[in-house]
Amino acid sequence: MAAPKLYYFDGRGRGAIVRLTLAACGIKFTDELLTEKHQIEKWRSDGLLLFLQVPMLEIDGLRLVQTGAIVRYIAGKEGLLGSSPEETARINMLFEGSRDFLSYFFMYRPGRGFIDIQEVLDDATSKALPRYLPVFDKVLKENGSGFLVGNSLTLADIGLLEPILSVLDYYGEEALKDYPSLQEFHKKVTSLPSLAEFLAGPQRRKPNDDVYMSTVTKVLFS
Ligand SMILES: N[C@@H](CCC(=O)N[C@@H](CS)C(=O)NCC(=O)O)C(=O)O
C-alpha cells in the first residue's frame, strides 16, 4: 500500500494537525503541496475533494476530507481514541477544546482575509491563554499520568500539542511559567521518538509567514 498522501499547502493551517497525528502514530506520509490555483481546480474537477476543500488525505484507498474526520480515522485505527464510549467522549471533548484554542492563532478570518499577527496575538493573549491554559493544566494535573486521558497518548494530547507549540513559538517558555503540568506535558510528548523526529524535520512547517499567506490568497481568493 502506498504511503498516505496529504493534499495541503506548504504551511500549517488545518493540515498541521493531520501531519502531527500521522507523525505521532509513526506513519510515514508524503505531502502533495498546493502552490498554484490550477492544482486545486483540477482536484475539484476530478472529484478528489468532496466539499471542494483541503486538507484531503489519501490513505488505505480512501480519500478523506474534513480535518476532524481525518484525524479520527487515523487515531481510531491506531487505538488513540480510548477504550469506552465515555473515554472517547472525554478525548473528543478535550480535542475540540484544543481546536478552539488553536483557532485563536489562525491568521485568516472569514470576511476579513489574513489579519495582522499583532491583532491575532492581542486576541489570543486576552481571550485564549487565560481560558485554555489553566483548564488543560488542571486536567493534566488531575489525570496524573502526563497525558490528558488515561495512561497513554490519545488524540486529545496530539490536539493539545498544536496550540502549545504555537504558544511557545509566539510567546516563548515564559508563557507556561505558571503551568507546571503543561510544561511537563510538552516535554514528555515532544520527547516521544516519532514526534521528536517529525518536529525536527522538514514536514513540520514553521509558523505561517508572508509566503504562505500570499500563496493561500493566490490559490483560494484570486
Ligand atoms: N471543515 C473543513 C474546512 C476546510 C477548509 O475550509 N479548507 C480551506 C483551506 S484551509 C479551503 O479549502 N478553502 C477553500 C474553500 O472553502 O473553497 C475542515 O475542517 O477540513
Q: What is the mean pLDDT of the chain?
A: 97
Same domain, 129 and 145: yes
Q: How confident is the model at residue 1 (pLDDT cuts 50, 70, 90)?
A: confident
Report which of 122, 120, 118, 98 is spatially closest to residue 107, judged by C-alpha positions. Answer: 120
Say how far apart CA 180 and CA 114 lie, in whole Å. 34
Residue type, 73: Y
Place of cell 508563557: 175
14 lines ligand 1 (CB under 6 A): yes
| CATH code for the domain in which residue 177 is found | 1.20.1050.10
Domain coverage including residue 158: 85-191
92 lines ligand 1 (CB under 6 A): no
Q: Check: CB of residue 51 under 8 Å from CB of residue 66.
A: yes
203 lines ligand 1 (CB under 6 A): no
Query: Region 191-200: what's the mean pLDDT?
Result: 98
40 phi/psi in degrees, rounded to 5: -70, -30
- Grid cell of 9 as nine digits: 499547502
Counting the structural domains of the chain, the total is 2
Same domain, 70 and 115: no
102-124: per-residue pLDDT in tens?
999 999 998 999 999 999 999 99
148-179: per-residue pLDDT in tens?
999 999 999 999 999 999 999 999 999 999 99
Same domain, 133 and 62: no
Query: Region 48-62: what's the mean pLDDT?
Result: 98
User: Taking CA 72 as the corner, what is the angle to CA 36 and CA 199, rounded to the nearest 5 degrees?
Assistant: 60
What pLDDT is stored for residue 92 in this prediction? 98
Query: Region 116-140: what's the mean pLDDT?
Result: 97
Same domain, 134 and 70: no
Same domain, 118 and 29: no
Same domain, 110 and 167: yes
186 lines ligand 1 (CB under 6 A): no
Q: Check: CB of residue 163 under 8 Å from CB of residue 102.
A: yes
Q: How confident is the model at residue 208 (pLDDT cuts 50, 70, 90)?
A: confident
Query: Region 24-46: what's the mean pLDDT?
Result: 98
Same domain, 44 and 117: no
H-helix or E-strand containing 217? helix 210-221
| CATH code for the domain in which residue 204 is found | 3.40.30.10
Same domain, 70 and 90: no
Q: Check: CB of residue 4 under 8 Å from CB of residue 26.
A: no
Helix axes 155-171, 15-24, angle to 10 degrees: 120
Distance 104 CA to ligand 1 centre (A): 17
Q: Check: CB of residue 19 under 8 Å from CB of residue 198.
A: yes
Same domain, 186 and 90: yes
Q: Check: CB of residue 65 under 8 Å from CB of residue 49.
A: yes
71-96: per-residue pLDDT in tens?
999 999 999 999 999 999 999 999 99
Query: Region 33-59: what's the mean pLDDT?
Result: 98
Same domain, 102 and 181: yes
175 lines ligand 1 (CB under 6 A): no
Atom number in ligand 1 closest to CA 49: 12
Same domain, 179 and 117: yes
What pLDDT is stored for residue 217 in this prediction? 95
Same domain, 96 and 183: yes
- Order the strands of the 56-59 sheet from edge to edge: 30-33, 5-8, 56-59, 62-65
